[in-house]
A and B are shown apart, each in its own frame.
Chain A
Amino acid sequence: MKDADAGTVHREFVKGNEAICHGALAAGCRHYFGYPITPQNDIPEYMSTHMAAHGGVFLQAESEVATINMLLGAAAAGKRVMTSSSGPGISLMQEGISYMAGSELPAVIVNISRSGPGLGGIAPSQGDYFQAVKGGGHGGCRIPVLAPHSVQEMYELTMHAFELADRYRTPVMILGDAIIGQMKEPYTPGLCEPPGPIDKPWATTGCAGRPRQHVKSLYLKDDDIERHNWKLHEKLQRIEKAEVRAESYHLEDARIVLVAFGTAARVCKTAIQWARKEGIAAGMIRPVTLFPFPKTLVHETAGKADLLLVVEMNTGQMVEDVMISTSHHDKVRFMGKPCAMPTPDDILAEIRLLAGKTS
């Protein structure tokens, strides 16, 4: 499709990492804390250059442990806050993320993920799916996870993340990867509305004119902690009901349905275009929210399609959520490539195989 609006709409050509910064600033984030790690250094570097001009605070912490706790503090003070990191740093943040989930503090945490485990490497990877989606922190902590697949979405979903964070009083994670962070492509700023200002009467801003209040996750008395857990659970259920997002790509008539997110989904789109040229009815479900997972869409689609092919840049993680979503386990296939981009040719070959074609 030729971009018909190209002449009239203002398009910027930036890295995905930079689009995240644009989204955060547009959403009113004025407090950024971070620590260097490849492949997300463009984010702290951009913030260090531009935050002051927006009247905000950029601070490089001495570690990710400190970073996430600075975030906790500024969020408790009622500010829109963000940090970004990659695997090793996100692991160090898990303690603080759990405390923030327990204390019901809004914040946006960006993971431009790389290969692991351990120091791993800087190659792109989707190996952090479980950590992000199943709650990397202790004590049953779970937070919404958004998975952008384009520079446009890096911008838009960052804004959306701030909105979700404030609305549900929860940390929200953006799960990108090295490809989507490092690549540049045109994007159109201003296509979606930034979240408006929101009242935070719970914030610890000094008790002038009101009784003192606390931001905390410790509940020792009676059955307070049980009640607190049920409350958090009820919140997650509301999120699951209202906040699922997924893209349906050529789903209407699809016999072979790919399920993929983020960068892997981009490659799948190319493979699907090629497959359709060969007369194979392929399509895709692309979860945009990884938690909450688009269970219903997956279940309904599994009922209609011949096969589901889950494609991930790891050895098989989201495929478990696909299995949980549907009882048609016999229809689910998996194709994984840990720590590298699958090529469209690889995926097309798999689609052909599943379609019983050997062209």
Chain B
Amino acid sequence: MKPFQYLRPKSVAEAISMAADYPEAQYIAGGTNLVDLMKRGIASPSKLIDINHLPLKKIEHRYDRLRIGALALNSDVAKHKSVVSRQPLLAQALLAGASGQLRNMATVGGNLLQRTRCSYFYDLALPCNKRKPGAGCGAEAGINRTHAIFFAGNGFGGNEKSACIAVHPSDMCVALTALDTEVVINGTGGERRVLLKDFHRLSTLQPELDTNLQPGELVTAIEVTDNAFAQHSHYLKVRDRASYAFALVSVAAALQMDGGRIWDARMALGGVAHKPWRYWAIDLMLRGQAPSEKLFREVAEHEMQSAKATEQNAFKIKLTSNAIVAALKAATGIS
């Protein structure tokens, strides 16, 4: 690990001005991702700005929305009363991620900004466009069993030198994407808000960028507006072992039902794209319908028409389709 200087700002304003002063600095929250990246030489900030002491831990429900501070711990969010009762999908997704110990350290902001788990990204000896733009994508013709099937790789406006088929690894962000979350960001220019769907980026052209956060900007909170999905939401995570594994694919399904019919629907998919993948058409396809396995299968296959596999991840197309069906069955309670 490269030696670095450790800074501890006393306020959000100070943190932001430190980040503005030192372009090579990086914020550190729980450190569960950043420290690993530093150990492997993937990140080598000359200064670490420790934000853990900033007052950004609060989780509160006010008026029509749930506001969660960027430093709230994943474990605290998952068990918070308002989260469990109003946004159970988020609690489920958080609990499906990592392990108890990690969730006790990991923060909401860090979770949003965690980097891909693509093995090539983690190994300095292998080519990776995300780590070193222009070096080529090791995964595209390599070990890519866990990689993206939506909007991935060559042929999506990119080229060899800019291809990246990595997936965003977060569970939390998949649920939040389905729930139309807003991200609150502070920078030298003051506060701005971005919908989570616009926060993460596709890999096209600039795979080195995971998000649209500008250099030095600090995430201070996320906000989820109230909805009527609590009764019929389900987070399904398919993985290679029972716990403590990143998703092969995951599905966040949030439905509103009445009188045996679906009246509103949101869905996001994880493990399939460079960002949490919102299934936009689902509301249209399900609205007014009675749940059935046949319907869910149609809905699932519809979205998979635009999926495109690489050599080792072709199974993900069928798996995602099946997972969508399973998640919708669980959310609607049909067997």
A and B are interacting partners: no
